[in-house]
Amino acid sequence: MTENTVLQLGNPLLRQIATPVTVFNSPEFLDCLSSMQTLMESGNGVGIAAPQIGVAMQIVIVASRPTNRYPDAPEMPATILCNPQLEILDPTLIKGWEGCLSVPGIRALVPRYQAIRVRFQDREGKSQQIDLKDFPARVFQHEFDHLQGLVYLDRIESSRDIVAESEYLKLIAH
Ligand SMILES: [Zn+2]
């Protein structure tokens, strides 16, 4: 069942482990994709994962683009990644700001790998591969964590790396 809102931190469905997509043209799969897209866009998000709408399937969308939440994000076409597998290309961990549609009102600095390769299936079930670095790599790693029942707050080094969104907006307004 898909929700028509993004699940919020504390909802146990966000802590489920997602299972692989096996049928790529079922009404449930297509309905899930369209709900994910709608809720990501209406929330000005740059990515979303199926568990955030209550569906424990391995589907993420990465859609880096400048929004009022991420004014400096690079533009890339929205990419649907099913059953993704992560390979680390550059193990350097870089701290950068993240937020989450499931955790409104705060931002935190999160260490992520700088460059990754992702093998995945597209919405037709065809095998694909994409190399990502910097911000889009960060977005993918954030969404990939949702498939394991993790949120970005599970990855921070210190509670001092958490700020209110209003303070984050001041920090980036330079
Ligand atoms: Zn998130």
The residues that are catalytic are 143
Distance from Cα 136 to the centre of ligand 1, integer Å: 14
Q: Is pTM beyond 0.85 here?
A: yes
Say which DSSP state 19 is in.
Answer: B
With tokens 């290309």, the residue in question is 89
Q: Which stretches within 17-82 are classed as H helix?
A: 27-42
Distance from Cα 154 to the centre of ligand 1, integer Å: 11
Say which DSSP state 75 is in.
Answer: P
The distance of Cα 67 from the centroid of its chain, to the nearest Å, equals 15
- Provide mean pLDDT across the span 134-160: 97
pLDDT at 1: 52
Spans of all domains in the chain: 12-172
Nearest-Å Rg of the Cα atoms of the chain is 15
Distance from Cα 22 to the centre of ligand 1, integer Å: 24
pLDDT in tens, 58-115: 999 999 988 877 888 889 899 999 999 999 999 999 999 999 999 999 999 999 999 9
pLDDT in tens, 38-48: 999 999 899 99
Distance from Cα 124 to the centre of ligand 1, integer Å: 24
Question: Quick one: pLDDT band at residue 130, thresholds 50, 70, 90?
Answer: very high
Distance from Cα 143 to the centre of ligand 1, integer Å: 6
Name the average pLDDT for the chain: 94
| 8 A C-beta contact, residue 101 and residue 43 | yes
| 8 A C-beta contact, residue 121 and residue 57 | no
Cα of first residue to Cα of last residue in the chain, in angstroms, is 43
Residue 3 scores a pLDDT above 80: no
Q: Which CATH number fits domain 12-172: 3.40.50.1000, 3.10.450.240, 3.30.470.20, 3.90.45.10?
A: 3.90.45.10
Q: In whole angstroms, what is the distance from residue 144 CA to residue 135 CA? A: 14
Residue 171 tokens read as 């920090």
Residue 171 scores a pLDDT above 80: yes
Residue 112 tokens read as 């992520």
pLDDT at 173: 82
